[in-house]
């Protein structure tokens, strides 16, 4: 997909303008924040655009040199090299210019819930959380549990965690859906392979300005928290339940001993869920287009199977099977799947734009 020369000029001009504004020292407050965001968004595009323009100019200059018998051989050799590299640079530029989800740069709320399979599903939910936790550590991200409901046999019935860092939602957004595991449960004495499932939801976490919540729209209840399996009972009413009356959204948090901290965490989850609902509503008109991409983010969609006896992981959306289950479930190996999903999404969006 070749980008017109005029568009390259526009990108260079816009980037030069932003550089001049940022260097002027006259920007303050919101204007500086907005200019910084625009600069950060345009910089990678401008860099690839400059590379493409430079390669095109080199080609034009070398083609002129072909008329000189003494320079022809050298020019042909350099031309062959640049012409071989140019298509990949053009592709990178086209990808960089694709419309970006405004939430891609945001941190994310990771929610994992045990599905069908009883105790084994809870154990699998724990395995998935640790997989994302280790992958996040490799990316330099921070994972902070917000709320959890532990299973008596290990793992989690449900766990919600905040993931912060650079490009978190952009990399994790295709993880939403039903993850299925096929293996012999630790609790199974007969050695039969069981199929269990856990649901993963990755939601972009908004800034406070993205979601306005009125106090009058909230019903806040406090109650006494209890630990998993009745191991302990708090002596104070530190657990929080917040109901957003206009939408009926209910969020609870009881993990901290501080009622104030639990309320902060519950509000964080509530803002994220309301923001996600807003995004779904505004993207409704694009629903058909989104179905053509890697995944719709529908949490009821079965997206991946982890088959322990055969040591393989299959992503059903892109038909990719990797015989690397130990590496993937350990965390670092997940990157290969994440990168493949992003590349497939980019390829399909480029194809859609070219039609």
Question: For residues 276 and 153, is the Cβ–Cβ distance under 8 A?
Answer: no
Question: For residues 42 and 18, is the Cβ–Cβ distance under 8 A?
Answer: yes
Q: Each residue of 162-182: pLDDT tens digit?
A: 999 988 999 999 999 999 999
Integer Cα distance of 78 and 62 in angstroms: 8
Band of the pLDDT at 238, cuts 50, 70, 90? confident
Q: Give the DSSP H or E segment for 249.
A: strand 249-253
Band of the pLDDT at 33, cuts 50, 70, 90? confident
Query: Does the pLDDT value for residue 224 go beyond 90?
Result: no
The first and second tokens of residue 293, run together, are 């991409």
Question: For residues 338 and 131, is the Cβ–Cβ distance under 8 A?
Answer: no
Query: Does the pLDDT value for residue 229 go beyond 80?
Result: no
Q: What's this model's pTM, rounded to 2 decimal places?
A: 0.75
Which alpha helices (H) appear in the chain, and where do they start and end? 5-24, 29-65, 72-96, 119-139, 168-172, 259-282, 287-291, 325-329, 334-354
Band of the pLDDT at 211, cuts 50, 70, 90? confident
Question: For residues 259 and 245, is the Cβ–Cβ distance under 8 A?
Answer: no
Q: What is the pLDDT of residue 73?
A: 93
Q: How many CB atoms lie within 10 A of CB 265?
A: 24
Mean pLDDT of the 119-123 span = 93
Q: What is the pLDDT of residue 305?
A: 96
Q: Walk me through the domains of the chain, giving residue ranges and CATH numbers.
A: 5-97 (no CATH), 108-208+294-354 (3.30.70.1660), 215-285 (3.30.160.20)
Q: Each residue of 188-201: pLDDT tens digit?
A: 766 788 999 999 99
The first and second tokens of residue 310, run together, are 């055969």
Query: Does the pLDDT value for residue 284 go beyond 70?
Result: no
Query: Does the pLDDT value for residue 330 go beyond 90?
Result: yes
Place of tokens 């939801």: 201
Task: Tell me the range of 79-83, 165-169, 222-226 where mean pLDDT is highest.
Answer: 79-83
Q: What is the pLDDT of residue 328?
A: 97
């Amino acid at each position: 997909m070749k980008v017109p020369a005029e568009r390259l000029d526009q990108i260079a001009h816009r980037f030069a303008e932003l550089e001049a504004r940022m260097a002027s020292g006259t920007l303050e407050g919101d204007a500086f924040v907005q200019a910084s965001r625009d600069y950060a968004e345009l910089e990678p595009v401008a860099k690839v655009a400059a590379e493409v323009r430079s390669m095109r100019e080199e080609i034009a200059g070398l083609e002129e040199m072909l008329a000189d018998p003494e320079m022809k051989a050298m020019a042909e050799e350099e031309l062959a090299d640049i012409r071989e590299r140019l298509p990949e640079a053009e592709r990178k530029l086209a990808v960089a210019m694709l419309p970006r989800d405004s939430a891609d740069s945001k941190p994310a709320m990771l929610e994992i819930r045990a599905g069908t399979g009883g105790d084994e599903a809870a154990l699998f939910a724990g395995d998935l959380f640790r997989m994302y936790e280790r992958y996040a550590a490799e990316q330099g991200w921070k994972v902070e549990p917000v709320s959890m409901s532990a299973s008596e046999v290990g793992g989690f019935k449900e766990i919600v965690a905040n993931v912060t860092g650079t490009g978190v939602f952009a990399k994790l957004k295709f993880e939403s859906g039903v993850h299925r595991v096929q293996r012999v449960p630790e609790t199974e004495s007969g050695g039969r392979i069981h199929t269990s499932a856990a649901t993963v939801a990755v939601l972009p976490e908004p800034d406070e300005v993205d979601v306005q919540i009125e106090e009058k729209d909230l019903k806040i209840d406090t109650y006494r928290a209890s630990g998993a399996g009745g191991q302990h009972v708090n002596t104070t009413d530190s657990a929080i339940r917040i109901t957003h009356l206009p939408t009926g959204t209910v969020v609870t948090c009881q993990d901290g001993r501080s009622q104030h901290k639990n309320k902060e965490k519950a509000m964080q989850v509530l803002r994220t869920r309301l923001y996600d609902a807003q995004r779904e509503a505004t993207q409704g008109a694009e629903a058909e287009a989104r179905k053509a991409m890697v995944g719709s983010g529908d949490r009821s969609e079965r997206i991946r199977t982890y088959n322990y006896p055969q040591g393989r992981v299959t992503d059903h959306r892109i038909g990719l099977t990797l015989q690397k289950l130990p590496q993937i479930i350990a965390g670092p190996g997940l990157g290969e799947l994440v990168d493949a999903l992003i590349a497939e999404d980019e390829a399909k969006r480029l194809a859609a734009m070219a039609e």
